[in-house]
Structure 1
Amino acid sequence: MSQEQGRPPRLPRGRFNAQVVNWTQMHDCYGDVDRVPALLERVDLEDNAEAWEELGYRLVLEHDLVFPVSSAALPGLVRLASRSARARVLADAIAEFRKLLDRHLQSRPVDYFAAYLDVLAAKEEYHWSAVLGDFTDDFYHLACPHCAVEVTIAIGDHGRYSAIRDWNLGDVDRRGLRPASFEELSGTGRWMHETAVRDGHEALADGIAHLFGKAECPHCASVFNIADEYTSANRPVLR
């Protein structure tokens, strides 16, 4: 990795390093996390053949092998595609990889959950790709949209509930979650659930139904959508 003593690299400030993508988690074929956003900035400013060549082999290797950073770079390449043939070629190669990933999921691989997160990233759902757990021991912390008290959402083997966390007493005043029915799911949540069900991962599907369901605030008893509130509080804003 191009990191010194475990510290995250300093990434360039620019529109291709927008906060909607956490580049520090998106490594390329060399394990670097800082070169691709820098190269995207460079080719945006000038049609530099050397930068395009390096960007190409960092995003797509032989036999169409791509890396997490490839999916993260796709939106930037799409923005450049209208004025760059090189960008269109790379974007097409990465988009094709989405189909390969989905076929890999359907084969029910041993590394299913890791591949599932990769598909989310390939679909540009970087938020859920970064924060989604496998629902064995998952906790999501958010503020109640009505009274602003911090609520802990637990979805795992220990239970499925909302609670107020007390660091001495643990999770107190637990309220059971209300999972979304299939008919209530839409958009990203529906795709996530349908895919898990299709591939026979019932525990993952059940966790998703709870994550995209509703919780009751233990403090004010108001009911809110968990995924909406968690996303609103944690998804970075594109500037």
Structure 2
Amino acid sequence: MVDRARMRDCFGEVDRVPELLARVEHRDDLEAWDELGYRLCLEGDLVFPAGFAALPTLVRLAPTSARARGLAGTIIARVAGPHGCDDLLADCADVIAEFGPLLDRHLQARPDDYLPTFLHLLAVRGQYHWSAVLGDFTDDFFQLGCPNCAVEVTIAVGNYGHYSAIRDWNLGDVDRRDLRPAVPRALEGIGRWMHETAVRDGQDTLADGIAYVFGDAECPGCACRFNVAAEYTAANLPDRLSALGTH
């Protein structure tokens, strides 16, 4: 059981969040939802300890409340950032584990908020670095250092093409090299799960983008070939993962 007395919100208060949670439990109070949002997790990467106190209620409301589902997902997506209370987060492990199947069922309904839900489920699975970066692959770019020569390589996946390049702020992306997408049946681990989930739910653009992200790129500087996902993960995996681990 999480000790609410230890749960300060963004103003350092411990009493206001329980009052707001009681309000939204009884009715869909938009004003209370808005206040909960900024008290629990301000814009940026911050989540406050009161967010962990709120998670059991939010997850309980999530099956019938898009606001509860979204706020719970936002809190979980930020737990790899600074919050200074890993012990409190660990107390929420069962609630977060319960949230995963709920999000997966929502994805299978192919909702309008598919991508945010997909990203939140990635966070539930401990994949915070992917949860923070994946877009809808209409205009996605990743900046990676070549593992061989360390030159900064731009990886583009979207309507502008699927390529690696050197970005020149005057000339744009120059010396483009086509990406080589992963063969779906050869994917493993989180890449396989991401691709299979997107395919299952008819998200063709997302599935196609994931195949490119987990495929190979060529460095325009030295012609070294490297795996995009492996290099992105090595550069962006949080130094401190929560007690939830990765799945």
Q: Matches of 2:78 and 2:34 in 1, distance apart?
A: 10
Q: Matches of 1:55 and 1:236 in 2, distance apart?
A: 20
Letter in structure 1 aligned against 2:108: Q
Name which of 30, 40, 51 aligns with 2:36: 30
Residues 228, 78 of structure 1: alpha-carbon distance in 2 compared, 3 angstrom cutoff: farther
**Which digits, 9 at most, give the CA deviation of each residue in 1:101-154, with x for residues without a partner?**
100000100111111111111111111000111110001001100011111000
Residues 187, 77 of structure 1: alpha-carbon distance in 2 compared, 3 angstrom cutoff: farther
SS class of match (1:118): helix
**Which digits, 9 at most, give the CA deviation of each residue in 1:30-70, with x for residues without a partner?**
1222796546xxxxxxxxxxxxxx843x1121634351224
Shift, 1:93, TM fit: 2.8
Shift, 1:183, TM fit: 2.6
Residues 38, 216 of structure 1: alpha-carbon distance in 2 compared, 3 angstrom cutoff: same
Residues 73, 224 of structure 1: alpha-carbon distance in 2 compared, 3 angstrom cutoff: closer
Shift, 1:96, TM fit: 1.4
Shift, 1:234, TM fit: 2.1
Q: Matches of 2:155 and 2:173 in 1, distance apart?
A: 10
User: TM-score, length-normalised on structure 2?
Assistant: 0.69
Q: Matches of 2:128 and 2:34 in 1, distance apart?
A: 16
Which residue is 2:122 aligned to?
Answer: 120
Name which of 174, 177, 192 aligns with 1:175: 177
Name which of 217, 225, 228 aligns with 2:227: 225
RMSD of the TM alignment (CA)? 3.1
Aligned length: 194
Shift, 1:237, TM fit: 1.2
Matches within 5 A, 1:51-90: 55-56=52-53, 58-61=54-57, 63-65=60-62, 67-68=72-73, 69-70=75-76, 76=86, 80=90, 87=91, 90=92
Matches within 5 A, 1:54-203: 55-56=52-53, 58-61=54-57, 63-65=60-62, 67-68=72-73, 69-70=75-76, 76=86, 80=90, 87=91, 90-203=92-205
User: TM-score, length-normalised on structure 1?
Assistant: 0.72
SS class of match (1:60): helix
Q: Matches of 2:117 and 2:212 in 1, distance apart?
A: 21
Q: Matches of 1:30 and 1:76 in 2, distance apart?
A: 21
Shift, 1:29, TM fit: 7.8
Letter in structure 2 aligned against 1:220: C
Q: Matches of 2:77 and 2:96 in 1, distance apart?
A: 7
Question: Is the contact between residue 29 and residue 59 of structure 1 (CA under 8 Å) also seen in structure 2?
Answer: no
Gaps of 5+ in 2: 1-8, 13-32, 63-68, 242-247
Shift, 1:71, TM fit: 6.4
SS class of match (1:215): strand
Q: Matches of 2:176 and 2:79 in 1, distance apart?
A: 42
Letter in structure 1 aligned against 2:223: A
Gaps of 5+ in 1: 10-26, 40-53, 81-86
SS class of match (1:117): helix
